[in-house]
């Protein structure tokens, strides 16, 4: 049964709030990124405001995990909004929907819910979103810290405890951020591939049932790929190891190298064989 949605009233308008996200995510390694994000969110004086950092890096390096884990570390509710090329301003803010009794209800997005409740909003893959959608966030991301909903006619100010972070992917399928948004998403925090021991700890955290020999083999594969500037990430490594374990459990063939080779072929393709141990 779905949990009952919270409803609040602002200037006579009923808003149905979104639910926070709950995932077993932990941040492992790269403590510098962790410290930079928490510093950006800090408020040092009563007239200070938190910053709106952007986490930049290749897909799969853990940007969303970092943002989520930092929000939970601060004891806040965390709301993740997945941006796409089709995201409209009303999707980001307040959307009218038809209720079961054929009446119009207004649903606050995860972002607006986080603003109201003093939580953290993670705008995931923000540079997949068009300028028109970003424009609706301009007053939220500067000293004004509010949004205006054309749909409801409401101006909603962010709770003092509200925090915002955007993750941006470094790939070709994204938009350039408009300059007036780029200047509001500061500081830029670069999230890179982890070092070998950090990568091993991440695999252990995500695959506690996996044999150490498999994890070390996958990490060696990833580190060789990183040195060649391939875009293979720890997420790919987790999927390779997970698939290899499933093959070994299913098959009578107890050959780890075979299972891992199949995992690489199924997840990344045969072109990745180049980075397997000879």
pLDDT of residue 173: 62
pLDDT of residue 5: 61
Cα–Cα distance measured from residue 105 to residue 15, given in angstroms and rounded to the nearest whole number? 7
pLDDT of residue 2: 38
Q: List Cα–Cα distances, 42 to 51, 71, 94, 142, 229, in angstroms.
A: 8, 12, 28, 15, 34
The model's pTM is 0.86
pLDDT of residue 275: 92
Q: List Cα–Cα distances, 118 to 9, 41, 181, 224, in angstroms.
A: 16, 13, 22, 43
pLDDT of residue 108: 96
Run means of pLDDT, 10 residues per run, the chain, 278 residues: 68 93 82 95 95 93 93 97 94 89 90 97 94 94 95 94 95 79 95 90 92 95 93 92 95 89 96 88
**DSSP strand pairing (13-16 vs 7-10):** antiparallel
SS (H, E, C) 193-215: CCCHHHHHHHHHHHCCCCCHHHH
pLDDT of residue 25: 77
pLDDT of residue 172: 62
Q: How many other β-carbons are positioned within 10 Å of the β-carbon of residue 272?
A: 18
- Stated as kind and residue range, the H or E segment containing 82 is strand 78-82
Confirm if 12 and 22 have CB atoms less than 8 A apart: no
Residues 6+ apart with CB under 8 A from 186: 40, 51, 52, 53, 54
pLDDT of residue 103: 83
């Amino acid at each position: 049964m779905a949990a009952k949605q919270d409803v609040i009233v602002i200037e006579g308008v009923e808003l149905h709030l979104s639910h926070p996200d709950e995932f077993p995510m932990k941040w492992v390694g790269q403590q510098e990124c962790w410290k930079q994000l928490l510093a950006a969110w800090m408020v040092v004086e009563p007239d200070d405001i938190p910053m709106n950092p952007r986490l930049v890096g290749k897909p799969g390096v853990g940007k969303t995990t970092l943002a989520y884990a930092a929000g939970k570390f601060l004891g806040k509710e965390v709301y993740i909004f997945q941006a796409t090329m089709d995201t409209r301003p009303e999707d980001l803010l307040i959307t009218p929907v038809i209720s079961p009794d054929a009446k119009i209800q207004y649903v606050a997005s995860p972002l607006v819910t986080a603003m109201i409740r003093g939580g953290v909003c993670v705008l995931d893959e923000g540079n997949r979103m068009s300028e028109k959608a970003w424009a609706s966030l301009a007053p939220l991301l500067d000293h004004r810290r509010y949004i205006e909903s054309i749909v409801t006619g409401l101006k909603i100010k962010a709770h003092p405890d509200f925090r915002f972070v955007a993750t941006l992917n470094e790939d070709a399928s994204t938009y350039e951020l408009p300059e007036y948004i780029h200047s509001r998403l500061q500081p830029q925090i670069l999230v890179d591939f982890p070092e070998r021991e950090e990568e091993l700890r991440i695999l252990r955290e995500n695959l506690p049932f996996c044999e150490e020999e498999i994890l070390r083999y996958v990490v060696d594969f990833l580190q060789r790929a990183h040195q060649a500037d391939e875009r293979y990430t720890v997420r790919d490594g987790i999927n390779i190891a997970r698939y290899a374990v499933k093959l070994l459990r299913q098959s009578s063939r107890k050959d780890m190298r075979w299972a891992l080779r199949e995992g690489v072929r199924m997840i990344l393709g045969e072109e990745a064989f180049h980075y397997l141990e000879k």
